[in-house]
Chains A and B, each alone.
Chain A
């Protein structure tokens, strides 16, 4: 071809960034637009399970087979995002024997390595499992950091020439003569990385093809061109615990149901989930009963959860889709499979394909399929390489070198930095100045924060998802202002203050669902630090002028008009 086609990908979740990487590796010119941060939608709101496929091995074997294939691929290409914890399907006395057998058979059918172990053996692996757990099936489930994975996909796409625009909402599709030829975009702060206070603007991005990878938001994009995309958004709660009560993924071995999984994730465990259809992927109730159900039901598997500390809860919206003729009433009956909707074939609208349904574990496979589809349209003969080429951070990944020593980091901090950064560790941690810990809960150092700021502008929530800073037990109580200070090296005070406020509010949002016991005490301490010690709730910089002259200026006239440069005793220190 004379010149590469230009494809606009809408959506900066796992699917969108996966597509952007795939297409750009095949030489296609890609622009990805995302309304919020990367992972803003469903990707940033999942439990972090790298499926073995075991969960679908009875009811949805096609999905199960895809999961185990991709599980193996991701262990290879995204080693620094994946922790192979292993998983157990545990059976309680009241859970059916026949379902247990079906699960085991299903795993075999789908090629998922599975082994039955006794209750004692299960408790040897996870000592906090309930004493009456009968037995379990062991499968290769894992934990995956969705933020790290998506950022790595976006970085790889950029390395291959893609343009990534976050905080850029698609406001309309450009349709000419029955064909989509571009997108209208509203940039929150101009093109490139987000900077608070920078004036945004609209942009028309013309494209030879548009891929709608907006998941639960796909219907909105479809509406802009008058096509119906019947995504059925379904919400689920995830409750984050303060520590890893388990180190293995624990699934309940019974047919579909709420509150049946515990995923160890970094320093926490995530309990999930519910499955409730909602009308709007952004506006839906986040309810107390959902959080209570996680703790009450999952403590049947791990009793200590009943009184354990949770640090926040969040909700995600599954982008479920089923072909219009199926008509499931219950969202739990809707397939987890994905669908490629070519709007030319389906609706007579050329220039755009939507990808809907599916799940995080198979994001790469979805990207491959839609990239094949796009390449076929443009006659591009290029193989997909995303299953073979490691993501940035996972190249020649080895933690054998003593990074702690090399970078002068204390051992748990250094180990965790290297786990997060993978093969980028050297590049990131090699700094001239001192490299103190900025977020104590998650062990994140200045060098990592600065690296994230360089990638993502003044957006501290983008820094947060890249580094995990402010995501530990104190939920930013001790480090929000420190993160703001790190920004100030690059950005002015007004920008810094705006980003700081935004982070404070974001951290508060999820904690509201964890406000009892120790986390309520933590919340009060955080509130006291931010309001009492820092006076951020009445920051004079945000509000009206202060009459400084009306306040105490010291016991002796302090020389309020003393010319600068003349040292005088301001008084008050005389007694010592």
Chain B
């Protein structure tokens, strides 16, 4: 091979929550870490809430104490593989890496409003969502914007009332000040608020924050908390919230929405910054397409501008995501892991991959890799596929993160553990 390989102690494949956590963990342990990621991370789809465990696999919940429930999970669950203490340490790493998050004062779950008007259990939440806690008794005014179809404040408020929240909640729909296009992206709102840009209201130039606060204030009847769709700033959300809080004399929070999710993207930015601080290197936008090695992974190949660039490390972490992130793929006959072809257990008949109810106990939701105690993927006989390859996050199988509300927690816990173990081995 003519090209000299790029070398590192630990190479992490995948730039989502699991990959970033794993890279941060390995870098903080003193390793030379490199992270490669391909497409936009699935964090843009994520609410930005960091759930640990909200429901048991049997559907019991919402759970108040996720840590107490972990030892009762099935043996194959990734939390059981890493153990409850590792989950705690992983969350400490997360808290330390992402100071913009809240919830670390307790091991008890929080309930937060969703954009459809339910509440959901979660363990950590952005500071910007914290005034929205559903166990806080203060009344809430939800504010929606006429053109933002992902959040209908009157409907969300009515739905929240139906869940029995311990406060009064009302919803109003306002026109966002300024002349935004009806299909303006959430980032358009956020950037305008970041910059506190000038908008024209009734023929007068106003600051957008002033104009928005004024419209909200006209609708408010004493509610101590005001919730908005998650568009309150992209680069400096704390400043946007502080400004609105000051003008409204009320606490301000954001309700997370679907993709593209600003809280998810902000979390991604914060984690990349933490990786930077820890001394990790990363490159994004290029896929890992192949590897060399039999019992060990010797080299992986990253495709860049049509060329195959070799990258070599002592230890590898596979954090390429599940079906959504394309770390697990399928065709009509089989389900597979596309880079290393690690074994993915699945029924041969694809009509056994799903249930007939939309929220049934779908087998596909648990598709992914099985591992040994050290998070190393195993083949159909339970033998380790590669002695220096660990897997973390949604590429793992054996749990239904959507039903359990455990996706972020599993990514953080397995990412942390895989990064730690890789760092120990690489020394």
Contact = CB atoms under 8 A, between A and B. Distances in A.
B330 to A, nearest CB: 5
Contacts of B149: 436-438, 446, 482, 485
Contact of A539 (B154, B163, B251, B401): B163
Contact of A520 (B54, B136, B258, B330): B330
B135 A548 contact: yes
Nearest to A566: B224
A410 interface: yes
A151 B362 CA distance: 36
Contacts of B257: 533
B183 A493 contact: no
A565 B114 contact: no
A551 B159 contact: no
Given A517-B329, A528-B401, A552 B115 contact: no
Contact of A488 (B128, B155, B224): B155
Given A546-B164, A551-B134, A565 B222 contact: yes
Given A515-B353, A545-B164, A558 B358 contact: no
B315 to A, nearest CB: 29
Interface stretch (A16-24, A36-44, A127-135, A568-576): A568-576
A46 B357 CA distance: 24
Given A512-B354, A523-B364, A552-B133, A546 B110 contact: no
B188 interface: no
Nearest to B167: A564
Contact of B118 (A485, A520, A541, A558): A541
Q: Is the interface of B mostly helix, strand, loop or mixed?
A: loop
B365 interface: yes
Contacts of A531: 359, 402-403, 405
Contact of A558 (B108, B135, B223): B135
A551 B111 contact: yes
Contact of A524 (B116, B135, B323): B323
Contacts of B407: 528, 532
A327 interface: no
Contacts of B225: 570
B162 A541 contact: yes
A549 B166 contact: yes
Contacts of B59: 538
B202 interface: no
B403 A537 contact: yes
B357 A505 contact: yes
Contacts of B359: 527, 530-531, 536-537
Interface in B140-176: 146-150, 152, 154-155, 158-159, 161-166, 168, 175
Contacts of B330: 516-517, 520
A575 B111 contact: no
What bracket does the count of chain A residues touching chain B fall in?
Answer: 35 or more
B358 to A, nearest CB: 4
Interface in A361-390: none
Interface stretch (B98-106, B209-217, B270-278, B381-389): B98-106
A533 B256 contact: yes
B2 interface: no
A230 B326 CA distance: 51
A80 B405 CA distance: 46
B320 interface: no
B112 to A, nearest CB: 9
Contact of A575 (B99, B133, B224, B249): B99
Nearest to B64: A550
B197 interface: no
Contact of B365 (A527, A547, A548): A527
A433 interface: yes
Interface in B358-373: 358-359, 362, 364-365
A330 B225 CA distance: 69
A555 interface: yes
Interface in B234-286: 238, 241-242, 245, 249-251, 256-259, 261
A503 to B, nearest CB: 10
Given A408-B182, A525-B324, A545-B164, A576 B256 contact: no
Nearest to B120: A535
Given A537-B359, A560-B135, A552 B405 contact: no
Given A512-B354, A572-B131, A552 B103 contact: yes
Most buried by B among A478, A520, A534, A572: A572
Interface string B120-134: 110000011011011
B74 interface: no
A547 B365 CA distance: 29
A401 interface: no
B155 A559 contact: no
B308 interface: no
A545 B165 CA distance: 10
B332 interface: yes
B215 to A, nearest CB: 15
18 contacts: A295-B332, A433-B146, A492-B158, A504-B358, A531-B402, A536-B116, A538-B59, A546-B62, A546-B164, A549-B135, A552-B109, A552-B110, A552-B111, A562-B137, A568-B138, A570-B133, A572-B102, A572-B127
Given A481-B116, A538-B403, A553-B137, 18 more contacts: A408-B182, A436-B183, A488-B152, A496-B155, A521-B324, A521-B329, A523-B364, A528-B45, A532-B407, A533-B47, A535-B114, A538-B120, A541-B117, A560-B137, A562-B137, A567-B250, A567-B251, A572-B133
In the A-B complex, list the 9 residue pairs whose CB atoms are closest, starting with the nearest.
A576-B238, A565-B222, A485-B152, A572-B130, A560-B137, A493-B158, A552-B110, A508-B358, A535-B120
Interface of A: 288, 292, 295, 408, 410, 413, 433-438, 446, 478, 481-482, 484-486, 488, 492-494, 496-497, 504-505, 507-509, 512, 515-517, 520-521, 523-525, 527-541, 545-555, 558-562, 564-573, 575-576
Interface of B: 45-47, 51, 54-55, 59, 61-62, 64, 99-100, 102-103, 105-106, 108-111, 114-121, 127-128, 130-131, 133-139, 146-150, 152, 154-155, 158-159, 161-166, 168, 175, 181-183, 222-225, 238, 241-242, 245, 249-251, 256-259, 261, 322-324, 326, 329-332, 349-351, 353-354, 356-359, 362, 364-365, 401-403, 405, 407
